[in-house]
Chains A and B, each alone.
Chain A
Amino acid sequence: MTIHLYLSLIPEALVASHLPPEEYGAYLSLGPKKRSHGQAIFFKLADSYAQKKLEEFPGIAELRDGRLRRSAYLGIHKILEQTPLDALETLHLTTNDGHVLTLHPGEYIPDPGPRYHLYQEFCPVTPRVASTLEPREFAATITDTSKPVSLPAVAFAELTLDRLGDDPEANGVDNLPYRSIEHLRDCLRELRAKQTKSTKLVVRYLEQDVLFRTILGGFYVGSQGGAFRFFPMPSRDELETTHYAWWRSALRSTGL
């Protein structure tokens, strides 16, 4: 029986399991008897990396014996920074009722796109940050050791700003589900006013589920030294056709 290794982003953890990604996602989301429910975002690590990594954990004999084990936690600290980005095979987004969407890595092509960006970091910390930097630049800045504060690695997603992405004063942004749009506007105004400032903290930590409908482009992982991976989200059309069950579930999630 294959042992899979997963890197969970919320919360950060390294987990071994006999369950394949779809079942593991449903398990994380629903629990064994539905008592718990909630969103999950996790990477499946490459099997070759997993085999090597598991050798560091002689205590998980039951997994090696082939006895079914849904989850065996191997670590909950500094997991992302210790994982080579090449080992991130696929990213899995699980809705709070157990539907799992698999994202494969893709080539990152910088998009001249909007002037301002909004990033939700997931690991190792969870602030929401407004920035003038495009994703690769943002990852490089966050992991730049020459800065007073930096991270060894960061996993994040870009969130939509609709028309605020070009103009912090724009109207018609009624579909943005963020708390206190005015505060968000203030943050963007500050970026506009201070040309030297490239990032501005909007929310200190993730307070609730991420609404998958707000993800723009996809998920990114960067680490010191300039390593960078991109896991693009399918297009809206693809979500409505190929991944409809997941998309419908994602849209209906209110976090209640």
Chain B
Amino acid sequence: MHSNLFWLIPAASLLSLGYAFWFFKRMVACDEGTPLMREIAQHVREGAMAYLKQQYKVVAIVFAIMTLIFVWLAYGLHLQNKWVPFAFLTGGLFSGLAGFFGMKTATYASARVAHAANQSLDAGLRLAFRSGAVMGLVVVGLALLDISIWFLVLNKFVTAASEAQRLMVITTTMLTFGMGASLQALFARVGGGIFTKAADVGADLVGKVEAGIPEDDPRNPATIADNVGDNVGDVAGMGADLYESYVGSILATAALGAAAFTQAGQNENAFKAILAPMVVAAIGTMLSIIGIFAVHVKKGASQKDLLNALGRGVNLSSLLIFVASFFILKAFDLPNYTGIWGAIVVGLLTGIVIGKATEYFTSQEYKPTKDIAESAATGPATVIISGLGTGMLSTVVPVTAVVVGTTFAYCLAAGDWHFSPDSIGMGLYGIGIAAVGMLSTLGITLATDAYGPIADNAGGNAEMAGLPPEVRRRTDALDSLGNTTAATGKGFAIGSAALTALALLASYVEELKMAMMHAGQTTMEVASVQVPIISATLTQFMTHFEVHLLNPKVILGVFIGSMMSFVFCGLTINAVGRAAQSMVEEVRRQFKEKPGILRGEDKPDYARCVAISTLGAQREMILPSMLAVLVPIGVGLIFGVPGVFGLLSGGLATGFVLAVFMANSGGAWDNAKKYVEEGHLGGKGSAAHKATVIGDTIGDPFKDTAGPSLNILIKLMSMVSIVTAGVNIAFTLF
């Protein structure tokens, strides 16, 4: 009966992909509006696809090299499972496909949403949201498809000495396809983040230091690149990021579940524990579709009604999964299933708390952002100081939520409130399944994220095409709502990344176990006693590898991990500065060579600006991305397993807090500017406005490049360590 439940996973995948296709077809069938609207949309589409093509070329080269290395490690040195190179490739391929489909939809939707807003606000909202839902459903659909295929293949072909070992091999092998997704996500996030902010800051600077042309004026050669950037950064980047969190959390939980129960000799329960997170995710996907249909507003809706409409969809899905997950776990009849269900609920609640905290610290409706705006009365310096301070303070709630959530998830699943060593396995399973709970309704939460850039582009299209004021007011309302959901989405992405990375950290031990057995070891020494590896507990592994805080190798790893977060941010922020400078130079060149652009007599070369941003992003993303791959390998080779544990812990702790700080500072600066533009503190054009514009420009790479990229850094370093666990076992300098 339980293995029959597996079929819910491919069914949910196909249902999700089917609805995504249906939403896409219905969106494409809508009218794209006037010839000018079509032309603008076409420029954005071409630019976005040109960017993706170039990015995939670079990524393909990196993937080819990495695959060859994995083939050599697996088939040459026999340090790795032989499935790893293929799993790595499919993870990258599916993640790339999710980004491609999401972005294609978003770029087709913008003009249509602007045109739909001509009819009514509801028509605009529905079309924008359902176009965003394509991204959400494609991400979860492809993830579940990839998981289903690999589970079927491995379940069919993997053989091992015992059933326990077989389950361990299946789950740990599946986990490795997360690295392909992680690497693809890093390129999408870093490259997309650099592109979008280089274009945005570049287009904006044109207005400030060049001809005074607004960033979305059709005469501004960088304006299309700016619109393309919204898609490659916020749609493709966010999609790849959450695809990777989604897959990572499900597979890490499956691996932890297998470990927890096989150690106790409960193979049947181990199988159920593997399937449970997958089925929860599958049901969550189906419930997300129900939530998507609940999003609509009545004629004459206000901004609050719009927000309530999106909230209704997300809340409905969350409520349904809250109930459904209980029955799923009851059907699996896992030991302490109520406790495991409690962990799922904790995950859902943690996600909500982080989202609300993000909204509180970044929305102009609340005090922190208003305070930043008010500090503009004394100039840009105080805006910057105030934004930095607010961003730092904003880390309290998300970090506390993760700490409390992790504690409850661990203890509820373990059925033990004393953190006793015997229940570590179940406790870690609880943490993993809490992350699954948080991400179970990703289909709809990602739809609300992807909705943001679609509405933003629709607004840009309406402005550039000079649509009537009523339409622009509607697209403004949709855009404003998108800003709120985008900020909340970023908080959600960071929170889920933290929980997923915690689960991955625990899964690393399982990979070490498999690597040792793969190397032919059957026992290991723990406190002068030989212990069978297959039944060794996590505590015994920690003892064997001397993973404790008095081991300098752990501490050194922690330092390196912390430093990595800052180095990564520094590289990506500086990359934005350099790429934006190239953009300004290109705009200057175009103005100089074609003075008619400013008079509206000549057309700017939009494609050239897109190419400049693309090349800048591709060039600049290589170093930070490669660092994220090479540093865990290097630390493993030098300091071994204790060093890697230190690295991952330091990277996770610092990266998580830094990501929250950067996302919230940037979001608060952005909305402080909007608060002034709404007519406070002197309104547009006032000295306070100028001060907040400077804060917003500084915050741009914080919130859209460095901050979101950190999510992936912390997960990718764990994934690299997991995949190269065999190398850590075989070669270590110290």
What is A's interface to B at a CB cutoff of 8 Å?
A: 23, 26, 29-30, 32-34, 37-38, 95-98, 174-179, 181, 209, 211, 213, 240-241, 244-245, 248-249, 251-256
Contact B214 A97 (CB under 8 A): yes
| Structural contact, A177 and B683, CB atoms closer than 8 A | yes
- Kindly state whether residue B680 has any CB partner on chain A within 8 Å: yes
Q: Is B595 an interface residue (CB 8 A)?
A: yes
Contact between A177 and B684, CB atoms less than 8 A apart: yes
Contact among B211, B463, B689 with A254 in the assembled complex (CB-CB below 8 Å) = B689
A255 to chain B, nearest CB (A): 7
- A173's closest neighbor in chain B, by CB? B682
Asked whether any CB of chain A lies closer than 8 Å to the CB of B466, the reply is: yes
* Contacting pair B684 A174 (CB below 8 A): no
Contact B466 A174 (CB under 8 A): no
Q: Are A98 and B211 touching (Cβ within 8 A)?
A: yes
Q: How far is the CA of A177 from the CA of B684 in the complex (A)?
A: 7
B598 at the interface (CB under 8 A from A): yes
In the complex, the answer to whether B599 meets A97 with C-beta atoms within 8 Å is: no
Q: Say yes or no for B693: interface residue by CB 8 A criterion.
A: yes
User: How far is B482's CA from A198's CA once the two chains are assembled, in angstroms?
Assistant: 50
Between-chain CB contacts (< 8 Å), 10 pairs: A30-B598, A34-B595, A97-B211, A174-B680, A177-B685, A177-B686, A179-B687, A213-B683, A253-B212, A255-B685
Q: Within B151-178, which residues are at the interface with A (CB < 8 Å)?
A: none
- Who on chain A is nearest to B697 by CB? A256
Q: Is B681 an interface residue (CB 8 A)?
A: yes
Q: Which of B208, B591, B598 makes the CB contact (< 8 A) with A256?
A: B208
User: What chain B residues lie within 8 Å of A178 (beta carbons)?
Assistant: 682, 686
Closest 8 CB pairs between A and B?
A177-B686, A175-B679, A37-B212, A96-B212, A34-B211, A211-B685, A97-B212, A177-B682
Residue of B210, B679, B687, B693 touching A174 (CB-CB under 8 A): B679
| C-alpha gap A38/B208 in the complex (Å) | 11
Inter-chain contacts of B592 with A (CB < 8 A): 33-34
Question: Do residues A241 and B468 form an inter-chain contact, with CB atoms below 8 A?
Answer: yes
- Which residues of chain A are near B74, meaning CB under 8 Å? none
**Once the chains bind, are B591 and A33 in contact (CB under 8 Å)?**
yes
Interface of B is mostly: loop
* A174-B679, A254-B689, A256-B693 given; 6 more Cβ-contact pairs under 8 Å: A32-B595, A33-B591, A34-B592, A95-B212, A177-B682, A211-B684
- A101–B446 alpha-carbon span in the complex (Å): 44
Complex: chain B residue closest to A26, CB-CB:
B599
B595 touches A33 (CB 8 A): yes
Give the Cβ gap from A236 to chain B, nearest Cβ, in Å: 10
Interface residues of B in 577-620 (CB under 8 A from A): 591-592, 595, 598-599
When C-beta atoms are compared, the residue in chain B nearest to A241 turns out to be B469
B43 within 8 A of A: no
Smallest CB-CB separation from A32: which chain B residue? B595
CB distance from B180 to the nearest CB of A (A): 44
Q: Return chain A residues, CB-CB under 8 Å to B211.
A: 30, 34, 37, 97-98
B213 lies within 8 A of chain A by Cβ: yes
Assembly CA distance A179 to B690 (angstroms): 12
Chain A residues whose C-beta falls within 8 Å of the C-beta of B212 in the assembled complex: 29-30, 37-38, 95-98, 253
Chain A residues, CB < 8 A from B634: none
Interface residues of B in 183-233 (CB under 8 A from A): 207-208, 210-214, 217, 219
Which of B469, B598, B685 is in CB contact (< 8 Å) with A34?
Answer: B598
B219 to chain A, nearest CB (A): 8
CA–CA, A181 and B683, complex, Å: 13
Contact present for B591 and A174 (CB under 8 Å): no
Mask, B455-492, CB within 8 Å of A = 1, is 00000000100101100000000000000000000000
Spell out B's residues near A (CB within 8 Å): 207-208, 210-214, 217, 219, 463, 466, 468-469, 591-592, 595, 598-599, 679-687, 689-690, 693
User: Closest chain A residue to B473 by CB distance?
Assistant: A240
Nearest chain B residue, comparing its CB with the CB of A211: B685
Give the docked Cα–Cα distance between A244 and B217 (Å).
12
Which residue of B210, B214, B219, B599 contacts A252 across the interface (Cβ within 8 Å)?
B214
Asked if A176 meets B595 with Cβ closer than 8 Å, knowing A96-B212, A256-B208, the reply is: no
Residues of A within 8 A of B689 (CB): 177, 254
- Which of B210, B217, B685, B693 has the largest number of chain A CB atoms within 10 A? B685
Q: Who on chain B is nearest to A253 by CB?
A: B685
Contact B684 A213 (CB under 8 A): yes
Inter-chain contacts of B598 with A (CB < 8 A): 26, 30, 34, 98
Closest B residue, CB atoms, query A212: B685
Q: Are A244 and B466 in contact (CB under 8 A)?
A: yes
Alpha-carbon distance between A155 and B463 when the two chains are bound, in angstroms: 34
CB distance from B601 to the nearest CB of A (A): 10
Q: Would A175 and B680 count as touching, CB distance under 8 A?
A: yes
A73 to B214, CA, bound (A): 30
Q: How far is the CB of B261 from chain A (nearest CB, A)?
A: 62
Complex Cα gap A199–B208 (Å): 36
How many angstroms between the C-alpha atoms of A32 and B594 in the bound complex?
11
- A247: nearest residue on chain B (CB-CB)? B469
**Chain A hits for B217, CB < 8 A:** 97, 249
Evaluate contact between B683 and A252: CB separation under 8 angstroms.
Answer: no
B681 to chain A, nearest CB (A): 6
CB-based contact A248/B463 at 8 Å = yes
Q: Contacts of B207 on A, CB cut-off 8 Å?
A: 97, 252, 256
A175 in contact with B683 (CB, 8 Å): yes
Q: Which chain B positions have C-beta within 8 A of A97?
A: 207, 211-214, 217, 219
B217 nearest CB neighbor, chain A only: A97
User: Could you tell me the distance between the alpha carbons of A96 and B208 in the complex, rounded to whole angstroms?
Assistant: 10
Residue in contact with A37 in the complex, picked from B210, B469, B685, CB distance below 8 Å: B210
Contact assessment for B685 and A213 in the assembled complex, using a CB-CB cutoff below 8 Å: yes
Most chain A Cβ neighbours within 10 Å, of B592, B595, B598: B598
Complex CA gap A219/B110 in Å reads: 40
A170 to chain B, nearest CB (A): 15
Q: How close is B466's CB to chain A, nearest CB, in angstroms?
A: 6
Once A29-B212, A33-B595, A177-B689 are accepted as A-B contacts, the answer to whether A252 and B679 lie under 8 Å apart by CB is no
Query: Which A residue's beta carbon lies closest to that of B587?
Result: A34
A211 / chain B contacts, CB cutoff of 8 Å = 684-685
B282 CB to nearest chain A CB (Å): 48
A176 close to B682 (CB less than 8 A): yes
Q: A32-B595, A33-B592, A98-B211 are in contact. Are A240 and B469 (CB under 8 A)?
A: yes
Q: How far is the CA of A256 from the CA of B680 in the complex (A)?
A: 19
Across the interface, name the chain B residue whose C-beta is closest to A98.
B598
Are A256 and B214 closer than 8 Å at their CB atoms?
no
Closest chain A CB from B676 CB (angstroms): 9
Asked whether B690 lies within 8 Å of A254 as measured between CB atoms, the reply is: yes
- Collect the chain A residues with CB atoms within 8 Å of residue B679's CB: 174-175
* CB closest residue in chain B, given A22: B599
Report the separation of the CA atoms of residues A95 and B212 in the bound assembly, to the nearest whole angstrom: 9
CB distance from A33 to the nearest CB of B (A): 6
A179-B687, A256-B693 in contact; A249/B466 too (CB < 8 A)?
no
Q: How far is the CA of A183 from the CA of B469 in the complex (A)?
A: 36
- The answer for the CA separation of A241 and B693 in the assembled complex, in Å, is 27
- Find chain B residues with CB under 8 A from A240 CB: 469
Give CA–CA (A21, B680) in the complex, Å: 35
> Contact at A174–B469, with CB atoms within 8 Å?
no
Q: Which residues of A contact B591 (CB under 8 A)?
A: 33-34
Closest Cβ of chain A to B329, distance in Å, is 54
Bound: A248/B677 CA distance, A: 13
Residue of B nearest to A252 (CB): B214
The smallest C-beta distance from B204 to any residue of chain A, in angstroms, reads: 10
Of all chain A residues, which has the CB nearest B692?
Answer: A254
Q: How far, in angstroms, from A175 to B678 measured CA to CA in the complex?
A: 8
Who on chain B is nearest to A239 by CB?
B469
Assembly CA distance A97 to B206 (angstroms): 11
Q: How far is the CB of B48 from chain A (nearest CB, A)?
A: 25
Q: How far is the CA of A249 from the CA of B598 in the complex (A)?
A: 14
Q: Which of B208, B469, B599, B682 contacts A244 (CB 8 A)?
A: B469
Least CB distance from B483 to A in Å reads 18
Chain A proximity of B259: nearest CB distance (Å)? 58
Given A30-B598, A33-B591, A37-B211, are A254 and B685 also a contact pair (CB < 8 Å)?
yes
Contacts of B595 in A (CB 8 A): 32-34
